[in-house]
Structure 1
Amino acid sequence: MNAAVVGVPAKPRSRARTAAQRDASPVFRKRRRPRRRESATLAHDASHHGTSSDRRRVVVDPMEFASRRVRPSPVHEAAGGGDMQFRTRRAILFGDCDPGGVVYTPRIAHFVVEAGLAFLSHALGAPAERRLFSFGILPPARALSIEFLHPMTWDEAIDIDVTVERVGEHSFTLAIAAVNAEGRTTFRGTITQVAISPQTRRPVPLPDELRAALERVRIG
C-alpha cells in the first residue's frame, strides 16, 4: 500500500503592498491627489495667466486709502480783512456711500468732525487729538448742525472750508462748508466743542494756547 502523500499547505498570499508597489500600480497612481503648491506659486501663476478661475489674494495697504481721505491744502486768505481760512480736500470713498453710490447721510457728520480735527491740527501745529489731551481737557461736541444741499457720489473730490465762528469762555464753534469740483456747495454745517475736565466732566475755561490759536484764524 502506497503511503499517502501529505502535501504542505501553501502559504497564503499576503495582500499587503509595499509603498513602492502601490506607487507602481496604475490603479493607485490614479487615486493619488496632486500635491498643492504653495500660495505664493499660485499667486504667481494667477498673475501671469489671469484666468477667471484663478483665485488671487489681494493685499491692500490701508495707508494708501487713508492718504486719500483728507488732504489739507495750504491755508489761504479769506475775502477781506486778511483773515485766514483753512481748506482741506477729501475724496469720497466707496465705504462712504449707500448702494446707490451716493454718500450715506450720517457719513457727512463724520466729514464735519474730520475737517474740524484737520483744522485744529493745523492751528495747533500738531495732531489735534494728542494736543488737546496734552492741555488736560476733553473736547466733546455739544452741538452739531448740518444742511444738506447737493448729493455727493463715489470717487468725487470735495473741498471743505473751515472757519472759526465763535470763541467762548468754555467752548468754540467752527463753521464748515464743502464744495464740489463744479463749485456747488454740497453741505454746510457748524460744530460746537466744549472743554471739560477729565476728572469732573464739567466745563472748564479754554486753555490759553487753544484760545490763542483759534483767535489767530478767527473771521470776525
Structure 2
Amino acid sequence: MKCMEYVARTMPFAVRRTVKWGDCDPAGVVYTATFADYVIAAAEAFYAQLLGEGSQHAKDRHGFGTPSRALTFDFRRSLRPDDEFEIEVRVGEIRSRSYELLMRGVDLRGEDVFIACLTPICVARGERRGIEIPAIFRQALQAYRDQCGQPSA
C-alpha cells in the first residue's frame, strides 16, 4: 500500500502528498477546501519536526495552542486523483503572538500548484486567550527560519 502523505525532507521542510479520489469534486479536481486541510496537515507535521514529538503532545506539554488567525491562497493549477505534489514550509514574519508559515505547493516537475500563507496565533491551551509565543517555540521557529532562509517570491 502506498503512503499518501510523508515528510519528504527536513530542510527546507516539505511534505509529499498523493491526491486521493475522495479529495476531489465530481469534475475530478481537488475541492478548494481540501487545500486548507493539506496546509494544516503540513503545519502539524512541521511542528512535530520542530518540537521533536507529536505536535499536539508538545503543545499540551508547553501549554499552548495554535488556531488559525488567517489563511490565504493563490491557486496556480489544479490537482487530480493520484497526482503527487509537495508542500514546502518556510517561516515568514514572527510577531509577539502570531507568526506566518509560508507554504508553496509544487508538482513533481517543480511547477507551482499554490502559494499559501497560514498565520496561527498562540493561545493558552484550553482558553481563547492570546499569549506570547512560548520561548521554546519562538526559538525553534527563529532557528529554522535562520537556517532555511527566506522563500523566493
Q: TM-score, normalised by structure 1?
A: 0.63
Aligned residue in 1 for 2:4:
69
Does residue 188 (structure 1) correspond to residue 115 (structure 2)? The answer is: yes
Query: How far 1:105 moved relative to its partner?
Result: 1.0
Deviation at 1:159?
1.1
Aligned runs of 1:112-151 on 2, under 5 Å?
Answer: 112-151=39-78
CA distance, structure 2, for counterparts of residue 157 and residue 189 of structure 1: 18
Instruction: Determine the structure 2 residue equivalent to 1:197.
Output: 124
Q: Note if 1:89 corresponds to 2:13.
A: no
- Residues 124-183 of structure 1: per-residue CA shift (max 9 Å, x gap): 111112211211112111000011110101001001100001211111110000111222
Looking at structure 2, the residues matched to 127 and 198 of structure 1 have their Cα atoms a distance apart, in angstroms, of 16
1:50-65 correspondence to structure 2 within 5 Å? none
What residue number does 1:56 align with? none
* Residue of structure 2 equivalent to 1:102: 29
Distance 1:87 1:198 in 2: 27
* 3-state SS of 2:9 partner: coil
SS of corresponding position for 1:189: strand
SS in 1 for 2:65: coil
Mapped contact 2:39–2:103 kept (Cα < 8 A): yes
SS at match of 2:123: coil
Larger Rg: 1
How many percent identity over aligned positions?
Answer: 29
1:199 CA drift (Å): 5.5
Cα deviation per residue 1:75-121 (whole Å; 9 max; x = unaligned)? 23xxxxxxxx2111011011111112211111001111111111111
Aligned residues: 147
Whole-Å separation in 1 of the counterparts to 2:125 and 2:56:
14
List structure 1 segments (4+ residues) > 4 angstroms apart after TM superposition: none
Which of 84, 102, 113 aligns to 1:175? It is 102
Which of 1 and 2 has higher RCO (CA within 8 Å, sep 6+)?
A: 2
Q: Which runs of 5+ in 2 are unaligned?
A: none
Structure with a larger share of its residues in strand: 2
1:159 aligns with 2:86: yes
Return the alpha-carbon distance in structure 2 between the equivalents of residues 87 and 136 of structure 1.
26
TM-score by length of 2: 0.89
Partner of 1:217: 144
Residue 7 of structure 2 aligns with an amino acid whose one-letter code is: P
One-letter amino acid matched to 2:47:
L
